[in-house]
Amino acid sequence: MLPSNRGNFQKYKLKFVDFQIPPALKSVNFSCFVIGESLSFFGSWMTQIALVWLVYQLTNSAVLVGVAGFTN
């Protein structure tokens, strides 16, 4: 970087550092809610994958896998 551009770069770099966290994200209740929802979503996703895998292992039928995935 040219020496003449260093000052401008530092000035613009400081604008990005001045980021304020919204008050809702600082809340303990909101943090617990986000963590709980994330764990619940991950558990539901794993259950859906396990169900489809189990149907395929028991039947070896792609059609029944589709039916199980659709009905879930």
Cβ neighbours around 55 below 10 Å, total: 19
Q: What is the pLDDT of residue 23?
A: 81
**Residue-range domain boundaries for the chain:** 48-72
One-letter amino acid at 68 equals A
pTM of structure: 0.57
State the Cα–Cα distance between residues 72 and 61, nearest whole angstrom: 17
State the Cα–Cα distance between residues 8 and 17, nearest whole angstrom: 15
Q: Kindly give the confidence (pLDDT) of every residue in the chain, 72 residues in length, as a single tens digit, with 9 standing for 90 and above.
A: 555 666 555 555 555 566 787 787 788 899 899 999 999 999 999 999 999 999 999 999 999 999 998 987
